[in-house]
Amino acid sequence: MKFEQYPIHEGIKKNLALKGFRRPTDIQFKAIPHILAGEDVLAVAQTGTGKTAAFAIPLVHLLDLRKKQSRSDAVRCLVMTPTHELAQQVAGVFEDFAKNTRVDCLAVHGGVEQDAQIDQLREGVDVVVATPGRVFDLVSQGHLRLDRVEVLVLDEADHMLAKGFYKDIRDLLRHLPRKRQTLFFSATIDEEIKDLAYSLVSKPIRIQISPKDPVSKNVDHAVAFIEMDHKRFFLERVLKTHPESKVLVFTRTKVRAERVKAAMERVEISALTLHSDIEQAERERVMALFRSGEARLLVATDISARGIDIPNVELVINYDLPDLPENYVHRVGRTGRGQAHGKAVTFCSPEEKPTLEIIQSFLGKDIVVLDIHQDDYRATLDFSEQPDSDWKSLMEEADKQEVLHKKRVARKATKKARKP
């Protein structure tokens, strides 16, 4: 079935055609009819399969259809997301599909001044895509009313729970009408999420796409066993042998992200970083440069793994293994989006092998091993333009910076705990 055959607004069909959307993905095919019918939906699908469009397309149609029945200043759809970047991305999807309709959308998140967001809310918007913190700020200040919300969407619900938003989500329900449509979308699900989901939805339609293999079939993923101190050399070689590729590198911490960036720049490889210590304006600039292809290398923590749709990422490298096995799925899902194919390689050191075993257990299968011959391994170390001694000095300096950072965080936490 093609999108042109769906019973949706003609303007949406034109927008879909302009974006190159001809046929729905599996999750879209299964979810859209139920959402159009006003049913609650609990959907689990791999990242990169089109979950955002699966709820944005039918909701824009329904909101436009009901527009004349609602007050112009009423927020009628609330979409909750775990991060600033995802809020902006989802709002962008709504805006793309809402062209030629009467539906207005606004992204609401922290990291920026709230005055502009308040002004737009006063003018009236139909859809608010938000992070929990800023929503509660605006609700408590009286700038955001949710008593006329018709649809609640929880996007990347598992990540919101992992970030500690369970209580916030529960508290949010006090401000929402009991009679509403609720949509629950995630790439992974566990018992805690099930408990939350079934407490929010009413007789939901449950949809699961390829639940036995959470990694998209469009991604070829493998693991290479590399000493921790040698990972930098292998990254350098990969980048220099694929100079035109757009590469996303994941590290475990923000300090290590900056460490890898510095190491690459020492061998004349330009890099950008993305993590929670970077101001919102700079994060937006970094994402714009990487999305456009002006920047080819982005080194990030897991803040950018969840749901972010970055076009044409050919290769994902797990420089460090993630702390949570489900984050592996979200990381490698940054490539092979939609109909595209991609590759993901994990650099696993001997001390990380227990973590690798946990990830493989989560996936339900072993990850393909890239067998590196001893001669090739040595050639990679010799390939580097940076002497090993320089790298060790950089590592030692970065370790010192990480220790200092942890001490600063501990001091701040102590001061905060002492406040009455």
pLDDT tens-digit profile of 393-409? Answer: 555 555 566 666 666 65
User: Are the C-beta atoms of residues 74 and 151 closer than 8 Å to each other?
Assistant: no
Q: Has residue 402 been placed in a domain?
A: no
Stronger pLDDT, 51 or 190, i.e. the higher one = 51
Is the whole-model pTM more than 0.75? no
Q: How confident is the model at residue 389 (pLDDT cuts 50, 70, 90)?
A: very low
Domain extent at residue 109: 3-208
Q: DSSP code of 345?
A: E
User: Are the C-beta atoms of residues 182 and 201 closer than 8 Å to each other?
Assistant: yes
Lowest mean pLDDT among 153-167, 176-190, 330-344: 153-167
Q: Has residue 416 been placed in a domain?
A: no
Q: Has residue 405 been placed in a domain?
A: no
Q: Has residue 414 been placed in a domain?
A: no
State the pLDDT at residue 330. 83
Please compute Rg for the chain using Cα positions.
Answer: 23
Stronger pLDDT, 420 or 371, i.e. the higher one = 371
Domain boundary among 182, 208, 234: 208
Residue 420 clears pLDDT 80, i.e. is over it: no
State the pLDDT at residue 70. 54
Whether residues 148 and 233 share a domain: the answer is: no
CA distance 126 to 124: 7
CATH code (residue 379): 3.40.50.300
State the pLDDT at residue 232. 94
Max CA pair span of the chain: 72
Q: How confident is the model at residue 386 (pLDDT cuts 50, 70, 90)?
A: low
Q: Has residue 412 been placed in a domain?
A: no
Whether residues 62 and 198 share a domain: the answer is: yes
Domain boundary among 145, 173, 208: 208
Q: Has residue 249 been placed in a domain?
A: yes
Whether residues 55 and 22 share a domain: the answer is: yes
Whether residues 185 and 277 share a domain: the answer is: no
Q: What is the mean predicted confidence (pLDDT) over 361-380?
A: 91
* Identity at 308, one-letter amino acid code: I
Q: DSSP code of 177?
A: -
State the pLDDT at residue 30. 95
Q: Which two tokens stand for residue 251?
A: 């590290």
Q: Where are the beta strands (DSSP E) in 198-280?
A: 205-208, 219-225, 247-250, 272-274
CA distance 320 to 235: 12
Paired with 80 in beta bridges are 130, 154
Residue 92 clears pLDDT 60, i.e. is over it: yes
Stronger pLDDT, 342 or 392, i.e. the higher one = 342
Residue with tokens 């990030």: 300
Total structural domains within the chain? 2
Q: What angle do CA 308, 312, 315 make, to 5 degrees?
A: 85
Q: What is the mean predicted confidence (pLDDT) over 149-171?
A: 83
State the pLDDT at residue 50. 86
* Mean of all residue pLDDT scores within the chain: 86
Stronger pLDDT, 344 or 157, i.e. the higher one = 344
Q: What is the mean predicted confidence (pLDDT) over 245-270?
A: 94
Domain boundary among 177, 208, 239: 208
Most confident of 147-156, 210-219, 303-312: 147-156
Q: Has residue 137 been placed in a domain?
A: yes
State the pLDDT at residue 200. 83
Residue 412 clears pLDDT 80, i.e. is over it: no
CA torsion sign, 214 to 204 to 138 to 58? positive
Question: Phi then psi for 260, rounded to 5 degrees?
Answer: -65, -40
Residue 104 clears pLDDT 80, i.e. is over it: yes
Residue with tokens 């991305």: 89
Q: Which two tokens stand for residue 138?
A: 């605006």
Whether residues 261 and 358 share a domain: the answer is: yes
Whether residues 30 and 87 share a domain: the answer is: yes
State the pLDDT at residue 86. 87
**Percent of the chain residues topping a pLDDT of 90:** 51
State the pLDDT at residue 177. 93
Whether residues 289 and 382 share a domain: the answer is: yes
Whether residues 230 and 185 share a domain: the answer is: no
Q: State how far the alpha carbon of 25 is from the alpha carbons of 28, 89, 94, 220, 367, in Å.
A: 5, 19, 17, 20, 26
Q: How confident is the model at residue 364 (pLDDT cuts 50, 70, 90)?
A: confident
Whether residues 229 and 300 share a domain: the answer is: yes
Residue 175 clears pLDDT 60, i.e. is over it: yes
Whether residues 230 and 150 share a domain: the answer is: no
State the pLDDT at residue 68. 67
- Secondary structure of 131-153 as H, E, C letters: CHHHHHHHHHCCCCCCCCCCEEE
Q: How confident is the model at residue 280 (pLDDT cuts 50, 70, 90)?
A: confident
Paired with 42 in beta bridges are 184, 206
State the pLDDT at residue 194. 80
Q: What is the mean predicted confidence (pLDDT) over 269-294?
A: 89
Give one word for 186, left, alpha or beta, with left for phi > 0 and alpha for psi -120 to 50: beta
Whether residues 327 and 291 share a domain: the answer is: yes
User: Are the C-beta atoms of residues 35 and 41 closer than 8 Å to each other?
Assistant: yes
Residue 168 clears pLDDT 70, i.e. is over it: yes
Q: What is the mean predicted confidence (pLDDT) over 129-145?
A: 90
Q: Has residue 318 been placed in a domain?
A: yes
State the pLDDT at residue 369. 95
Whether residues 117 and 238 share a domain: the answer is: no
Q: How confident is the model at residue 388 (pLDDT cuts 50, 70, 90)?
A: low
